[in-house]
């Protein structure tokens, strides 16, 4: 059985582009070994991620992320059974990169720039709505 989880978290320590690239490289190795794919969005010290794959693998990855001291305020938003994967590889989007930079980096996506959308079959799901909500909002510190 395949599942997907969408969660949000806040960085406890600052992440610049280089730190996010290292995080992506490390995550890809682990996720490929566990059969997990998905999309990680990073903006303004906040993360929103969709993880998908076998239930045991996705639940394991989410449990590790929830305990990771680099993440705070980890909140699971959606967990659902899926019939097939929506992302066949790991990708990450940055607002700080331009489209030329994104195209040259394996695993990076222009999703946050607003130039990419999801396939119709995924576009009407609650996970797609949450990811688009994150992309389209300016995120500010809460009082």
> How far from the centroid of its chain's Cα atoms is residue 13's Cα?
18
More confident residue, 121 or 39: 39
| Residue 38 contacts residue 31 (beta carbons within 8 Å) | yes
Identify whether the C-beta of residue 9 lies closer than 8 Å to the C-beta of residue 71.
yes
pLDDT digits (tens, 9 = 90+) for 23-44: 777 887 888 888 898 888 777 7
Identify whether the C-beta of residue 109 lies closer than 8 Å to the C-beta of residue 85.
Answer: no
Tens-place pLDDT, residues 51-106: 999 999 999 999 999 999 988 889 888 899 988 887 776 554 444 445 555 456 55
Residue 31: what pLDDT? 85
Neighbours of 140 (CB within 10 A): 7
Residue 42 confidence (pLDDT): 77
Q: What is the pLDDT of residue 142?
A: 41
Which residues sit opposite 94 in a β-bridge?
42
């Amino acid at each position: 059985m395949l599942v997907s989880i969408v969660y949000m978290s806040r960085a406890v320590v600052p992440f610049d582009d280089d730190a996010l690239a290292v995080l992506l490289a490390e995550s890809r190795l682990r996720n490929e070994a566990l059969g997990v794919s998905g999309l990680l969005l990073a903006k303004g010290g906040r993360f929103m991620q969709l993880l998908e794959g076998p239930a045991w693998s996705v639940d394991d990855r989410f449990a590790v992320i929830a305990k990771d001291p680099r993440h705070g305020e980890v909140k699971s938003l959606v967990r659902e059974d899926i019939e097939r994967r929506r992302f066949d590889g790991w990708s990450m989007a940055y607002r700080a990169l331009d489209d030329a930079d994104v195209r040259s980096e394996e695993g990076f996506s222009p999703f946050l720039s607003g130039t990419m959308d999801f396939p119709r079959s995924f576009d009407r799901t609650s996970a797609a709505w949450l990811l688009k909500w994150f992309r389209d909002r300016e995120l500010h510190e809460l009082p």
